[in-house]
Amino acid sequence: MPEKSHPHVGEVIESSTMEFIAESRVLHGAPPFGMYVKVDSYPIIYALTYNVCTQSIEPNRRPTAYGKTEEELRLEQPQIFELLRTEFSCLIVGYEDDTGVYQRLPPHPPKIHSFVHFCSATEIARFTDKAHYLRPIFTQARVPSDELTIAAIRNANHARGENGQYLIRAGKEVARLLKDDYDRLRSILERIQV
């Protein structure tokens, strides 16, 4: 009997070769910042969550403050929450097809309405075996690159259950990428420590 798959965390609603935006399946249920996710497609696309936003489903209407807790609002006016959605933006860092895992942009962007899932610890460890996926993080102006690098490395280390070996390898790659910016490098390396 096949293993029951986990429900998707979101659905792709905007897509390009370098990034995608997905709508969360559950309000406020987006993956945490720096979490590894994959798009259910061929090839499988790997990405890092770099922004989460909850907003009105109506583009020209902002939510109104009521001075009540979420619990009170859910009891008194549950319909308010049907007018909200949570979206998350993800930076594409690689893909996997029948020939292997690649830390580069996929040949095609994710398809609209493809499902987004959390990566398993095994998938994260396999994808991050080499740290070349870190370079694209530093080249994107729209991404908080230092913070995303720190979160990505910490999540990859946690997926391995290691006590530091991966941190050393990833730290060496960050040092190579930031060899001309000592202050930035030092700041990142100090904050990576678990």
Query: How does pLDDT run across 47-64, given as a tens digit for each residue?
Result: 999 999 999 898 888 888
Between 125 and 3, the more confident residue is 125
pLDDT confidence of residue 2: 35
Residues constituting the chain: 194
List b or e across 159-171, with b for residues whose CB sees 16 or more CB atoms inside 10 angstroms. Answer: bbeeeeebbebbb
Distance CA 41, CA 22 (A): 14
Mean local confidence (pLDDT), 134-150: 93
State the pLDDT at residue 3: 40
Confidence at residue 4, expressed as pLDDT on a 0 to 100 scale = 44
What integer pLDDT is reported at residue 80 of this predicted model? 87
* pLDDT of res. 77: 87
pTM more than 0.95: no
